[in-house]
Amino acid sequence: MNSVPLSTLTTMQVGGPARELITATTREQLIEAALNTWDSNEPWLILGGGSNTIVADHGFDGTVIHVCTHGMERQQDISRSPNHSTIRIAAGVNWDELVAWSISEGLAGIEALSGIPGSTGAAPIQNIGAYGQELSSVLTAVEFLDRYTHEISWIPASELALGYRDSVFKQGKEGVILTVELSLASYGNNLSAPIAFPQLASALGVELGAQVSLEEVRQSVLALRASKGMVLNPADPDTASAGSFFMNPIVTENFARNLPEDAPRFPVQNTQQDRVLPLGAEVPPLASVEAGPNLVKLSAAWLIENAGVKKGYSIPGSKAGISTKHTLAITNRGGATAAEVVGLATYVQAMVQSHFGIILRPEPNLIGVEI
């Protein structure tokens, strides 16, 4: 067993050591580490920025490959327009550093995703999104090393089954992303993409659809995220978290009518994920759930707070607590264990279920623990 606890490599700061930890800083090292590990038939885990991972206190009895590759290249995307550029980014590049770089290059499309922690290679797995932008709108392809064929290929975004915090990689496709390819736009004068989220438009003092400077959007998003404890800051215990711990549930419109009138709900046009059902109902196959105007997305944060779990709540004696800024984040207040984090998450889940008949699904990857 190596001596490095995985708590030092995750933003939640919990988790024991892996049996073996391999740090890959080049594409070649990453490929070699993955192939050798797979050939050994030992348990394995790919770890990027560790912002969406909860590891058990006993650690991981296998090999963890820590992706720390770097490098970006830009070329004109003539297939779309003279104003678009194709960007290829190594999987280990820090996501927010990529966003900052794109803004310095005058490229729009991911500026509202500022401040999201983690690595670029993990972004397509989760199909990250925030403040009216989603990775799926700019992702064109990923370079992928397949777990079973050992082949390297470029997979178009259209084949990744991208949905709300979902992708083909979360549905069983195993391997490792080596490179991510994006297509970003240049609107001239360092302008952003049209603002598409009401809260961001309000913070900027503009109407929906307006365009402002890229840097102005970035700073506004960073301020909004910081107000919710969602920008990593060693001086702020509320940021020692995995970000949003639960996904916003998607329910039928009929089911939503049973909720209080002030429960936020947003129309969903196309999704096959995150279904919730009345208590005791059988789970239908995915194919039977049609996307359309009869589905709505609820606010997990509203459900948690209105189930009686308030900001700052902590189970007595536990060092894990609900963020003092945002009910959707579970935080490590210093020295918390994975068991304490899971215990609080389980309590939140039970409270929401008992009050509203909805079982919230955790967003982070759970390694050696269950909720």
Phi, then psi, of 368 in degrees rounded to 5: 80, 5
Beta strands in 48-168 (DSSP E): 53-55, 60-67, 72-76, 84-90, 129-130, 133-134, 139-146, 152-156
* Residues in Cβ contact with 271 at an 8 Å cutoff, skipping those fewer than 6 apart: 163, 164, 250, 291, 295
Provide the 8-state DSSP code for 5: B
Question: And the tokens for 236?
Answer: 């702020």
Question: And the tokens for 349?
Answer: 């889940």
Task: Tell me how far apart the alpha carbons of residues 231 and 227 are, in angstroms, rounded to a whole number.
Answer: 9
The answer to whether the CB of 49 falls within 8 A of the CB of 70 is: no
The one catalytic residue in 20, 134, 305, 363 is 363
Percentages helix, strand, coil for the chain (3-state, rounded to 5) are 30, 25, 45
Task: Tell me how far apart the alpha carbons of residues 363 and 324 are, in angstroms, rounded to a whole number.
Answer: 20
SS3 of residue 29 by DSSP: helix
The one catalytic residue in 165, 218, 225, 265 is 165
The one catalytic residue in 244, 305, 323, 340 is 244
Question: And the tokens for 77?
Answer: 């995307």
Confirm whether 305 is a catalytic residue. no
Confirm whether 363 is a catalytic residue. yes
Instruction: Report CA dihedral (342, 346, 347, 349) to the nearest 10 degrees.
Output: 140
Estimate to the nearest angstrom the gap between the alpha carbon of 324 and the chain centroid.
21
Confirm whether 244 is a catalytic residue. yes
Instruction: Region of 182 please: left (phi>0), alpha (psi -120 to 50) or beta.
Output: beta
Residue with structure tokens 């192939």?
Answer: 35
CB atoms within 10 A of CB 310: 12
For the annotated catalytic residues, the residue numbers are: 165, 244, 363
